[in-house]
Chains A and B, each alone.
Chain A
Amino acid sequence: MTTAPETHTTRKTVIEAHDIVKRFGGAVAVDHVSIAVGAGEIHAVVGENGAGKSTLMRILAGILTPDNGGVSVDGIVLEPGAKASLEAGIALVHQELSLIPEMTVAENILLGSTPTKFGAIDSARQRKIAADALDQIGVSVDLNERVSRLSVALRQFVEIARAVARSPRVLILDEPTATLTPAETDYLLNMLQRLAAKGLAIIYISHRIPEVFRICERATILRDGKVVDNLIIADTTPNAIIDKMVGRELKLDLQTRRIANPGAVVLSARGIRAFRVNGIDLDVRAGEIVGIGGLVGAGRSELVRAIIGVDPRTAGTATITVDGQTKNIVGYRSAVRAGIGFVPEERRTEGLALEMSVADNITLPNRAALSKAGFLQRGKITEFATRLAAEVGLRPPEVGRDAGQYSGGNQQKVVIAKWLGREPKLIVLDEPTRGVDVGAKAEIHRLLRGLADGGTAVLVISSDLPELLELSDVIHVVRDGRIMGTLSPDEANERSVMALAAGEKVASSS
């Protein structure tokens, strides 16, 4: 809690966004949102993934231009464009890192605004400004160190220093703690409080309710692009906020839940350790959909990638059991051979060859089945691809088209179709419906249920809580590379998952 003498009522408003609307194609990302933050205030913006938080922040920072409404600082409405916002003193700390690996800390902090004297870099001033910035956030790091040699956490802090170095009036942080350890998080929060005490207006985006309660004065809650509520932290409780984020009180849409009849264990992982994964055991049974919940950066993707051998493990073993035979998962290819299918998170860079046809993409994992004596069987491929395309409901079902010509939803269907062709014993999906329109989403869910009913083991990672609850027969919630809790369908609801994911002890048992 800030011990500031002022309260939001007495504070002088620094930044104000008025009636912001932003559409992408058909979808409305931000829907008539207004928000005001005062000097010295830390203002939380909370909401589920896809609630429109990041879009709103990109608009505040001038990176995106709203379709309606405007942003004003000290009552003066800003010109569109990042430059104007920057000059007005709005600094955004991006979610993904945007540093130059081989440049020094000092250079990165002043990238794009390097001070010069007679054309040469004024390194004295450069170092001074950088040092001051780092000082303000109370981080000490060798200014001459190359960023490529810093830890993920330190890079995050350098990003923040970069924002602070522009001596902003408003500081916007988007999930800054996503990649930090508890100790580092703790450190960051203290730092933000110090900055706020100096009169900076801070907008703090996070899923992590405890953090919000610790440092924020007010919270604006977004859901589906709309402002649900604007609460004073002092007068509310974590559960109240979580409920508002979720919007639906403990809803279990039973009509969508299926009766699972799990069979034998297919995938069994023991003591898995890897980058951001600190010792996890996991089992997946035939005919069962196992969901993995947690926040961005909790180590979910890293976990599954380590288990099936996409990325190296530092410790632990994983085995796959197919009709009685147990095989060790040595490398990724052995996993695929053993009957595992993997739908990666990055569809466009890892899932599909965009400039190849749908048929080609579907053929890739099934090349063996579709070729005789090393020759691809054209007729068979078309027939095969068309069948699968129909199975996953690709629209239009023209397998000759480049995958890149299809929309996100259809592309994702193709990625799934690739693996269906192999009739996998276990299919692993990382964010199966990210950036997918509602219709396609429903179809993909139906597909996965169908697979499970057919006896396939399914492992799903999702940041989309309703999806997770709707699909999963059991949910493991991951935080800091560990499983914080395992929820059965009847104890799983959006609050309990969010509570575990956000590290909110109180709610974990309810």
Chain B
Amino acid sequence: MTESGTQLKAAPVNGTPVEGIVKRQASVITWVASRGIFIFTGVLLVFSVIFVNGFASSVNIIDVFHRASAIGIVAIGMTFVVISANYIDLSVVAQVATAGVILLALSPTYGVLGAMAIALFFALLYGVVNGVSVGFLKANAVVVTLGTTGIGAGILSLLTTGTIYYGPENGPIDAFGDARVGPFPLSAFVLILVAVIASIVLSRTKFGFMIRSYGSNKQATRLAGVNSGGVVVGAFVLTSIAAMIAGFVLAAYSNTAVATMSEGFDFRALAAVIIGGNSLFGGRGSILRTFLGVIFISVLSNILVLSGFSFAWQQLVTGAVIVFAVALDALARKAEKR
């Protein structure tokens, strides 16, 4: 949380250059860093297709998408919180499970739509509680969402007592989970649909624009007459809704739901956002980057499994990739300053 920057006074703007533009020389590293995720994803895909046998098969592509869809939807949602310069929403772990459990536990009584409506209610509750605490009470997002995780996950676990809920064979939910469109699972299309919508919201709508500018400079945004607190609430609500959808997808995929179904989703989703090259200082970033970040880690774990590496190695490699990605980004920012 290096907010220390905010404590420094802005340097006095002595002797501003006379010419209109302050030239900024681009170095190789900045070039690579700015396009990093695109290059790396491309390279990884090519590599996998050539060297990992069975990777290109249609069945495997389905598996890759199964790996990508739920976590990807969460990551896309989390992008809004990250771009609003609030680091992370840890509570997605509790949110995904809540949505999944509600869907499978309550659809018999209330019908699928009824259950979804109830899930939506709780998604909004999460979003608003997190958003208000961070946006209006000016509390640190990490701590707030850490707290709501404890509360939410705890209560969920208390209520479900570890029951694994499962839908009827070939019920609507199961059907959705198994459904294919051409060679792809339906969840892949949900992921892409969410990505497209999120991308439109972030880059094309007034609201997305406010999130970006808030993340880029809170004070200037406020002084432009923006309800900055409201913007933060909005960012968290969007994240919560995405987490809810992810919960549905995950539950439908296996036609089961349990309180522990989304363990580790918080940091894994953030990892995708970061590997995508979105700035954790807010402002800069895009949904496409997050999407590619998700594809990257999904393909990575997929080929590690295909090549018989153990879970341990998968974690080790993921961590190494994150460190590499962020180090590159940081070096690039340095080079840019010079």
Instruction: Say yes or no: A364-B14 contact (C-beta < 8 A), given A333-B225, A342-B223, A349-B219.
Output: no
- Which residues on B sit within 8 Å (CB–CB) of A401? 21
A 390-428 to B, binary, CB cutoff 8 A, 1 in contact else 0: 000001100001001111111000000010000000000
Asked whether B19 is an interface residue with its Cβ less than 8 Å from the other chain, the reply is yes
On whether the beta carbons of B283 and A371 are closer than 8 Å, the reply is no
On whether the beta carbons of A26 and B18 are closer than 8 Å, the reply is yes
- Which residues on B sit within 8 Å (CB–CB) of A395? 20
- Which residues on A sit within 8 Å (CB–CB) of B15? 23-27, 29
- Which residues on B sit within 8 Å (CB–CB) of A352? 217, 220
On whether the beta carbons of A434 and B13 are closer than 8 Å, the reply is yes
Asked whether B204 is an interface residue with its Cβ less than 8 Å from the other chain, the reply is yes
Asked whether A213 is an interface residue with its Cβ less than 8 Å from the other chain, the reply is no
On whether the beta carbons of B205 and A371 are closer than 8 Å, the reply is yes
**How far is A443 from B38 in the complex, measured between Cα atoms in Å?**
44
On whether the beta carbons of B10 and A348 are closer than 8 Å, the reply is yes
**How far is A157 from B66 in the complex, measured between Cα atoms in Å?**
65
On whether the beta carbons of B225 and A349 are closer than 8 Å, the reply is no
B22 contacts which of A353, A407, A437 (Cβ < 8 Å)? Answer: A407
Instruction: Say yes or no: A367-B206 contact (C-beta < 8 A), given A333-B225, A356-B283, A396-B21.
Output: yes
A25 contacts which of B10, B16, B212, B227 (Cβ < 8 Å)? Answer: B16
Q: Which of the listed residues A310, A367, A396, A406 has the most CB atoms from chain B within 10 Å of its own CB?
A: A367
**How far is A311 from B222 in the complex, measured between Cα atoms in Å?**
12
Contact-size category for A: 35 or more
On whether the beta carbons of A407 and B223 are closer than 8 Å, the reply is no
B224 contacts which of A347, A349, A364, A374 (Cβ < 8 Å)? Answer: A364
- Which residues on A sit within 8 Å (CB–CB) of B21? 396, 401, 405-407
* A95 vs chain B, min Cβ distance (A): 9
On whether the beta carbons of B217 and A25 are closer than 8 Å, the reply is no
**How far is A395 from B19 in the complex, measured between Cα atoms in Å?**
9
On whether the beta carbons of B224 and A418 are closer than 8 Å, the reply is yes
On whether the beta carbons of A332 and B206 are closer than 8 Å, the reply is no
**A-B Cβ contacts below 8 A, count:** 120
* A106 vs chain B, min Cβ distance (A): 22
Asked whether A96 is an interface residue with its Cβ less than 8 Å from the other chain, the reply is yes
Q: Which of the listed residues B9, B16, B18, B226 has the most CB atoms from chain A within 10 Å of its own CB?
A: B16
Nearest-neighbor residue (CB-CB) of A340 within chain B: B225
On whether the beta carbons of A435 and B16 are closer than 8 Å, the reply is yes
- Which residues on B sit within 8 Å (CB–CB) of A374? 205-207
B 224-255 to A, binary, CB cutoff 8 A, 1 in contact else 0: 11110000000000000000000000000000
On whether the beta carbons of B205 and A365 are closer than 8 Å, the reply is no
On whether the beta carbons of B283 and A355 are closer than 8 Å, the reply is yes
Asked whether B302 is an interface residue with its Cβ less than 8 Å from the other chain, the reply is no
On whether the beta carbons of A396 and B220 are closer than 8 Å, the reply is no
- Which residues on B sit within 8 Å (CB–CB) of A365? 224-225
On whether the beta carbons of B213 and A353 are closer than 8 Å, the reply is yes
- Which residues on A sit within 8 Å (CB–CB) of B204? 375-376, 378
**How far is A346 from B205 in the complex, measured between Cα atoms in Å?**
28
Within 8 A of A (CB), among B175-219: 204-207, 209-210, 212-213, 216-217, 219
On whether the beta carbons of B216 and A355 are closer than 8 Å, the reply is yes
A407 contacts which of B17, B207, B216, B224 (Cβ < 8 Å)? Answer: B17
Q: Which of the listed residues B24, B223, B227 has the most CB atoms from chain A within 10 Å of its own CB?
A: B223
Asked whether A317 is an interface residue with its Cβ less than 8 Å from the other chain, the reply is no
- Which residues on B sit within 8 Å (CB–CB) of A404? 22
- Which residues on B sit within 8 Å (CB–CB) of A354? 216-217
Within 8 A of B (CB), among A462-506: none
**How far is A144 from B17 in the complex, measured between Cα atoms in Å?**
46
- Which residues on B sit within 8 Å (CB–CB) of A361? 220
Residue positions of A touching B, CB distance < 8 A: 23-27, 29, 55, 96, 310, 332-333, 336-337, 342, 344, 346-356, 360-361, 363-365, 367-368, 371, 374-376, 378, 395-396, 401, 404-410, 418, 434-437
**Additional A-B contacts beyond A27-B15, A375-B204 (14; CB < 8 A):** A25-B16, A55-B14, A96-B9, A349-B10, A353-B217, A354-B216, A360-B209, A365-B224, A367-B210, A375-B206, A396-B20, A407-B16, A407-B17, A437-B18
